Amino acid sequence: MSSPRACLVLTVAALLAASLGACGDPVKPAPVQPATPHDSPVPAPVPAKTPAEPAKAPETVLATYDRGLDYLLSIQKDGVWFAKEGVPSTAYSAIAAAALFERPGGLREKDKAIANKAIDALLAEVDTDGSIKNAQAPNYTVSVVVMALTASGRADAKSAIAKCAEKLRTFQFLERDNSTYGGIGYGSDKTRSDLSNTQFALASLRAAGVSEDDPAMKAALDFLNRTQNRKENETAGEPAEWKDKDGKTYVRANDGGANYRPGDSKAGFDERPDGTRTLKSYGSMTYALLRCYHLAGLPASDGRVKSAVEWISKNWELSKNPGMPEKMQFAALYYMYATMGKTLPLAGIDTIDVGGKKIDWRTELAAHLAKLQQPDGSWVNSQESKWDEGNPIVATSFALTALSACKR
């Protein structure tokens, strides 16, 4: 749960294109040495190599959430989280701050002072044009800042949110001859867009008050249609196949799942006898696709939505990123959990039909995350650190995003 020079996640500030972009090109994550609250920076705890033992008595979702939240609070200083000692990270700070406000039951009284400091710090990083100062992955960084500011509900953040939303619009590809028309990329790169960046941008635009009928959403649908492995999405004038630099031909499959961008799947391909390569769908991007379809206003009855839901039902899996090859099966796991937690409630899905059996995904996801939680309350992808998920700030923030959807 491609390209970060930085899952989610999202990496940005040498973080989110690796992590929040948790399905793009890898970026070398910065070493993490967060700081203790109101004290001098100290090294972050060394992540355990294996998940913590399950509790003897199951915890409530809120108890699990609060343990993770307490961990994040233990490594911040005055509302700021750090990429490494002495180097504050706007992206880390935004995803961690959002977890304070998205807590089931609301912001804790004891956390209000730190939460306000976190929002003050984020507001100070918003430039006059809505960009974020010194952001290395502009789209991801602006997007997660918008999500944190909107989650705070602070009236004094409205102007900054509006500026950031306008900045996000500038990252969308609107040249009709571009193969990724309608999508959004890193913002620092005008060569192509991808589904992970597009998901973050569309979610942030909607959070900022942009309507599903907005031209940006309508254009995004063109891009989303091309990322889905669904033959019915092919229309006259739209590419139905893609070639790589070696002349190999790629075509979409027909299973309803999603690719990273048109003609490119991080899950790889199946090769036909004639040499044509069929792009493979995978979990983290299929959840992202389903979320984007709903953000763009497609109803549950739409065939594109139904096909994505059917793929999820046939490939329901929490222990790995379904569809990924074995050597990458654990990549982007926490990105996937976070996207799942945002997507399924938006789609109005309470149960997943798995082989004729109704699965309560909230119960399963909450129990799974509880088992993965470390003794100090954090989460970390100990199987695969790719896309910055070996960083406990990123993995913990993603886990909390997922858990926030599990509390009934």
Mention every residue, 6+ apart, whose C-beta is less than 8 A from residue 97.
79, 115, 118, 119, 122, 148, 151, 152
Q: According to the 3-state scheme, what is the secondary structure of 40-93?
A: CECCCCCCCCCCCCCCCCCCCHHHHHHHHHHHHHHCCECCECEEECCEECHHHH
Longest dimension (CA), the chain: 64
Top-confidence residue, 200 or 43: 200
Q: How far apart are CA 106 and CA 119, in angstroms?
A: 16
Domain membership flag for residue 202:
yes
Domain membership flag for residue 124:
yes
Domain membership flag for residue 45:
no
**What pLDDT is attached to residue 59?**
75
**What pLDDT is attached to residue 58?**
55
For residue 175, what pLDDT band results from cuts at 50, 70 and 90?
confident
For residue 385, what pLDDT band results from cuts at 50, 70 and 90?
confident
Q: What is the mean pLDDT of residues 373-381?
A: 97
Q: How far apart are CA 306 and CA 304, in angstroms?
A: 5
Q: What is the mean pLDDT of residues 370-393?
A: 92
**What pLDDT is attached to residue 33?**
34
Q: What is the mean pLDDT of residues 187-209?
A: 92
Domain membership flag for residue 375:
yes
**CA distance readout (Å), 30 to 33, 85, 390, 394:** 9, 10, 11, 12
**What pLDDT is attached to residue 44?**
43
Q: How far apart are CA 263 and CA 180, in angstroms?
A: 10
Q: How far apart are CA 15 and CA 1, in angstroms?
A: 15
Q: List beta partners, residue 250.
A: 242, 277
Full residue range of the structural domain in which residue 339 is found? 61-211+307-404
**What pLDDT is attached to residue 229?**
96
List the single range of 26-30, 161-165, 312-316 with lowest mean pLDDT: 26-30
List the single range of 15-19, 205-209, 397-401 with lowest mean pLDDT: 15-19
Highest mean predicted confidence (pLDDT) among 57-66, 260-269, 378-387: 260-269
Q: What is the pTM of this model?
A: 0.87
Q: How far apart are CA 305 and CA 76, in angstroms?
A: 40
At 215-227, the pLDDT tens digits run 999 999 999 999 9
The C-alpha R_g of the chain, in whole angstroms, comes to 20
Whether the CB-CB separation of 179 and 173 falls below 8 Å is answered with no
Based on the structure, what is the number of domains in the chain?
A: 1
Q: List beta partners, residue 126.
A: 132
Give percent above pLDDT 90 in the chain: 73
Domain membership flag for residue 283:
no
Q: How far apart are CA 14 and CA 31, in angstroms?
A: 10
Cα–Cα–Cα angle for 305, 309, 312, rounded to 5 degrees = 145
Domain membership flag for residue 248:
no
For residue 178, what pLDDT band results from cuts at 50, 70 and 90?
confident
Domain membership flag for residue 21:
no
Domain membership flag for residue 6:
no
pLDDT at residue 357 above 90?
A: yes
At 76-86, the pLDDT tens digits run 999 999 988 88
**What pLDDT is attached to residue 24?**
52
Q: What is the mean pLDDT of residues 145-162?
A: 98
**What pLDDT is attached to residue 403?**
97
Mean of the per-residue pLDDT values of the chain: 87
| Four-residue CA torsion sign, 264, 169, 221, 351 | positive
At 3-59, the pLDDT tens digits run 333 333 333 443 444 444 444 544 333 333 333 333 333 334 444 444 554 444 457
